[in-house]
Amino acid sequence: MTQRPIYYDVRRNGETLFSDTDENKALEQLKAFNMSAEVNGESKAVLVRDYGR
C-alpha cells in the first residue's frame, strides 16, 4: 500500500486558492495571499493539510 502525498491547500472562505505537496511553496503563497488580503481589506487565508486525496 503506497502512502498518499499530503496536499497543503491555501484556502479562504472555503475556496482553495493554491494547492501543492510542497509545504514551503504553500507557506509562501499563504504569506502572499494574506499580504494582498490585508491591503484589500479581505479575509485572511489559512493553510490546510489535506490527507484525503
Residue pLDDT, tens place only, 3-52: 889 999 999 999 999 999 999 999 999 999 999 999 999 999 999 999 97
* pLDDT > 70? residue 1: no
- How high is the pLDDT of residue 38? 95
> What CA–CA distance (Å, rounded) separates 33 from 17?
9
pLDDT at 50: 93
Positive or negative torsion for Cα 53, 14, 20, 22: negative
CB 10 within 8 A of CB 18: yes
**Whole-number Å distance between alpha carbons of 42 and 49:** 22
